[in-house]
Chain A
Amino acid sequence: MDIKVNVRESEGDAYVVDLTGEIDVYTSPKVKDAISELIDQEHYNLVINLEKVRYIDSTGLGVLIGGLKRVREHGGSVNLVCTNPQIKKIFDITGLVKIFGIFDDEQGAMKALV
């Protein structure tokens, strides 16, 4: 089980973090490191693409929440791209749909950052 993390610059100052695989207690530190590094470099507008994520648990959610809190301190935001119904369900159950912008495609997530 592993997670692949790809970070790329997008429009304006926004960055996209593409994740592929499963985010759990073992793999979430890798995701946290990638997001923290972007924030440390003063990039506060992020799109995290979960389209290729097959599984996420509370540690993964915790990493996303932590990233969102940090960017908000600087007036930034984190939008998510998520189409997997099972993962969407987890965001619904936990009420995180209310604090994250969740979009069906990257274009929508990018547009909403601005």
Chain B
Amino acid sequence: MNPALAADPSFGKIELRIPAKAEWVAVARLAVAAVASRIHFSVDEIEDIKLAIAEACTNCIGHGGEGNQIEITSEIFSDEMRISVRDRSLGHKLESVEKDTGFAEGKRTEELGVFLIRALMDEVTYDVDARAGTELTMIKRVS
């Protein structure tokens, strides 16, 4: 583990699980924003995190089946936040999450969402497992 990411014991890990349905995405983004506000992010940085988390959840909804759930884990450190968004659906298309090119008018909304996540967060990694589902991990650092 990167020493810089060693968790300060005064902070911690917050877990949230929501149904993979559109009406729950606002709950996820507001909850994660509340966690982010515990460290010294600017208002703009918190807005970036809100949008990134919403895009990640929206992506899960697009791929998940009925009854799918989204698991969101937020970890805060002294100067950064790590958020992982996991869903256990098997429908993710790797080619769409791996694209990292600039936005063009013809892009699909899903690709636009992934583009925004990559633009707004400092580190983004995807772990796509054909059996276990997909986990997106994002790191945002305090500027």
Contact = CB atoms under 8 A, between A and B. Distances in A.
Nearest to B23: A26
A57 B109 CA distance: 10
A96 B47 contact: no
A57 B26 contact: no
Contacts of A1: 26
- Most A Cβ at <10 Å: residue of B44, B51, B120: B51
A61 B54 contact: no
Given A93-B119, A99-B105, A57 B22 contact: no
B11 interface: no
A59 B58 contact: yes
Interface residues of A, number: 21
Contacts of A25: 22, 25, 54, 57-58, 61
B51 A57 contact: yes
Grouping DSSP codes into helix (H, G, I), strand (E, B) and loop, the A interface class, with mixed when no group exceeds half, is helix
Contacts, number: 60
Contacts of B47: 86
B25 A58 contact: no
A24 interface: yes
A41 interface: no
A58 B115 CA distance: 9
Contacts of B51: 55, 57, 90
Contact of A26 (B25, B108, B112, B113): B25
A114 B119 CA distance: 35
Interface string B8-48: 00000000000000110110000000000000000010010
B50 A55 contact: yes
Interface in A1-44: 1, 22, 24-26
B139 interface: no
- Most B Cβ at <10 Å: residue of A22, A24, A25, A99: A25
Given A86-B44, A90-B51, A96-B103, A58 B23 contact: no
Interface of B: 22-23, 25-26, 44, 47, 50-51, 54-55, 57-58, 61, 102-105, 108-110, 112-113, 115-116, 119-120
Given A22-B26, A95-B102, 6 more contacts: A1-B26, A26-B22, A61-B112, A93-B116, A95-B103, A99-B105
Interface of A: 1, 22, 24-26, 55, 57-59, 61-62, 65, 85-86, 89-90, 93-96, 99
